[in-house]
């Protein structure tokens, strides 16, 4: 049985949404959920929902890293927090995966300070699955961990995304593109131009060239699109904003509805030696449940083992 840890104190509406999401996911028989947070509060929410808290493994945490906390100092100072304890038990092997909708910076610090990096990968990154018109998905990375990237970092992200696309999304030969302002090889800033050369000459995946933003969601798009975390985060938030407008205008469309972040739950951190899932800060209970299922999906895909190609 897979043991999946959840930061019960992480998110704008935690711990209520986190615990209710865990209750929803607990009906799945193949996983055991470990909740990290204030035991008394978690137990109270379970009891109010008519759910036996004994079905969870609860790791009592008397502290919490807030969104307003500085990630590095908080991770070192708040040793009894749910994020720190979650990473400790992930590193020790007591749990198989750890998920949180809490402080993203603290999650990055936890990955960097607690877990080992995959061989030949210098920085972890986060990706997001976005819907294509043809029903498939495109993987965009990085979307927030690394605001500034060297060309070799982008090449590593491409390699990580290629393996994720194969392992988790089931794409046999992923097409990998580089996000740019034009399709021509000479377009872009110095970083992207140099990255284009590295991708063309030094990659062992199927690099198809530059991808312009307006082509990302088309049927002919790449399966994996690589960019730095600053640009990727801007792109992701713009997509979220457009989806919010669609909802406010009560537009019903089967394709546009697939931009609902709740359906995806969270995104995997790539490049580290264990499965870590990061969720949206405003995650609903449904999003939390799907974040847990995402952790299960990544574990069953054997993604970490498949990264051994870098050895």
Mean pLDDT value across the chain: 92
Q: Give the confidence band of 279 by pLDDT, cuts at 50, 70, 90.
A: very high
CA–CA distance, 76 with 109 (Å, rounded to integer): 10
Strands (E), the chain: 2-7, 31-37, 57-60, 97-100, 125-131, 137-141, 175-179, 206-211, 224-226, 266-270, 275-279
Is residue 185 classed exposed, middle or buried when 0-12, 13-18 and 19+ CB atoms within 10 A define those classes? middle
Share of the chain above pLDDT 90, in %: 75
Q: Give the confidence band of 218 by pLDDT, cuts at 50, 70, 90.
A: confident
Q: Given this model, what pLDDT does residue 23 score?
A: 97
The number of beta carbons lying within 10 Å of the beta carbon of residue 198 is 18
Q: Given this model, what pLDDT does residue 269 score?
A: 94
Q: Given this model, what pLDDT does residue 311 score?
A: 53
The residue with tokens 């063309």 is: 200
The number of beta carbons lying within 10 Å of the beta carbon of residue 191 is 15
Average pLDDT over residues 208-236: 90
Residue 83's nearest CA partner among 6, 155, 197, 138 is 6
CA–CA distance, 281 with 150 (Å, rounded to integer): 28
pLDDT one-digit tens code per residue, 121-161: 999 999 999 999 888 899 999 998 899 999 999 999 999 99
Q: Given this model, what pLDDT does residue 310 score?
A: 61
Show the domains of the chain with their CATH numbers: 1-121+271-311 (3.40.718.10), 122-263 (3.40.718.10)
- What region does 271 belong to: left with phi over 0, alpha with psi -120 to 50, or beta? left
* CA distance readout (Å), 220 to 73, 186, 212, 258, 263: 45, 22, 12, 18, 24
């Amino acid at each position: 049985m897979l043991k999946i840890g959840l930061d019960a104190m992480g998110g704008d509406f935690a711990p209520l949404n986190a615990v209710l999401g865990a209750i929803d996911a607990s009906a799945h028989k193949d996983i055991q959920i470990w909740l990290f947070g204030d035991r008394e509060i978690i137990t109270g929410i379970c009891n109010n929902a008519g759910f036996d808290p004994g079905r969870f493994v609860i790791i009592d945490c008397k502290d919490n890293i807030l969104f307003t906390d500085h990630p590095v100092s908080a991770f070192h100072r708040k040793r009894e927090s749910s994020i720190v304890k979650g990473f400790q038990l992930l590193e020790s092997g007591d749990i198989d995966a750890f998920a949180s909708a809490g402080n993203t910076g603290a999650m990055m610090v936890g990955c960097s300070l607690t877990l080992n990096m995959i061989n030949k990968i210098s920085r972890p990154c986060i990706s997001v699955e976005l819907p294509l018109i043809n029903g498939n998905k495109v993987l965009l990375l990085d979307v927030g961990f690394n605001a500034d990237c060297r060309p070799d970092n982008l090449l590593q992200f491409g390699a990580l995304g290629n393996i994720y696309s194969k392992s988790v999304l089931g794409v046999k030969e992923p097409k990998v593109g580089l996000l740019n302002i034009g399709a021509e090889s000479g377009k872009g800033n110095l970083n992207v131009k140099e990255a284009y050369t590295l991708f063309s000459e030094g990659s062992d995946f199927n690099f198809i060239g530059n991808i312009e933003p307006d082509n990302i969601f088309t049927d002919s798009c790449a399966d994996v699109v690589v960019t730095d975390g600053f640009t990727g985060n801007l792109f992701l938030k713009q997509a979220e904003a457009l989806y919010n407008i669609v909802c406010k205008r009560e537009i019903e469309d089967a394709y546009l509805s697939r931009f609902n972040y709740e359906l995806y739950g969270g995104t995997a951190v790539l490049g580290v030696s264990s499965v870590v899932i990061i969720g949206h800060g405003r995650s609903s209970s449904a999003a939390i449940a799907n974040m847990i299922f995402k952790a299960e999906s990544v574990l069953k895909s054997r993604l970490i083992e498949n990264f051994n190609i870098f050895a």
